[in-house]
Amino acid sequence: MASALEIQGIRKCFGKGDKTVEVLKKIDIAVAPGEFLILVGPSGCGKSTLLNIIAGLEEPTEGAIHIGSRNVVGVAPAQRDIAMVFQSYALYPTVSVADNIGFALEMRKVPPEVRKKRIQEVAAMLQIEHLLDRRPAQLSGGQRQRVAMGRALARDPQLFLFDEPLSNLDAKLRVEMRAEIKRLHLVSGITTVYVTHDQIEAMTLGSRIAVMKDGILQQIGTPDDIYRRPANTYVAGFIGSPTMNFIPGQASGNGDNAVFAFEGGSLTLPCPATGMVTLGQRPEHIHLSDDASWRGEVTLVEPTGADTYVVVKTGVGLVTVRTAPNTPVKIGDSVGMTVSGRHNNWFDAQSGLRLA
Residue 336, domain CATH: 2.40.50.140
Q: Are 309 and 228 in the same domain?
A: no
What does the pLDDT read at residue 1? Answer: 52
The answer to whether residues 65 and 27 touch, using CB atoms and an 8 Å cutoff, is: no
In sequence order, which residues have a C-beta less than 8 Å from that of residue 148 and are 6 or more positions away?
A: 85, 86, 89, 90, 91, 165
Q: Are 224 and 270 in the same domain?
A: no
- Separation CA 135–CA 97 (nearest Å): 6
Q: Are 308 and 165 in the same domain?
A: no
Assigned domain for 74 exists: yes
What does the pLDDT read at residue 314? Answer: 96
User: pLDDT 10s digit of each residue in the chain, 356 long?
Assistant: 568 999 999 999 999 888 899 999 999 999 999 999 999 999 899 999 999 999 999 999 999 999 998 999 999 998 999 988 887 878 899 999 999 999 888 888 889 999 999 999 989 888 899 999 999 999 988 888 889 888 888 888 899 999 988 887 788 888 888 888 898 889 889 999 999 988 889 999 999 999 999 999 999 999 999 999 999 999 999 999 899 999 999 999 877 788 999 999 999 999 998 999 999 999 999 999 998 999 999 999 999 999 999 999 999 999 999 999 989 999 999 999 999 888 999 999 999 999 98
Residue 146, class by beta-carbon neighbours within 10 Å (0-12 exposed, 13-18 middle, 19+ buried)?
A: buried
Q: Are 267 and 327 in the same domain?
A: yes
Q: Are 225 and 267 in the same domain?
A: no
What does the pLDDT read at residue 162? Answer: 92
What does the pLDDT read at residue 202? Answer: 93
Domain boundary residue, one of 192, 214, 238 = 238
Indicate the pTM of the whole model: 0.89
The answer to whether residues 232 and 214 touch, using CB atoms and an 8 Å cutoff, is: no
- Separation CA 260–CA 275 (nearest Å): 9
The answer to whether residues 294 and 311 touch, using CB atoms and an 8 Å cutoff, is: no
Give the number of other Cβ atoms within 10 Å of residue 334's Cβ. 11
CATH number (domain holding residue 127): 3.40.50.300
Query: For residue 115, what are the β-bridge partners?
Result: none
What residues make up the domain containing 213?
5-238
What does the pLDDT read at residue 179? Answer: 87
Q: Are 179 and 308 in the same domain?
A: no
Domain boundary residue, one of 200, 218, 238 = 238
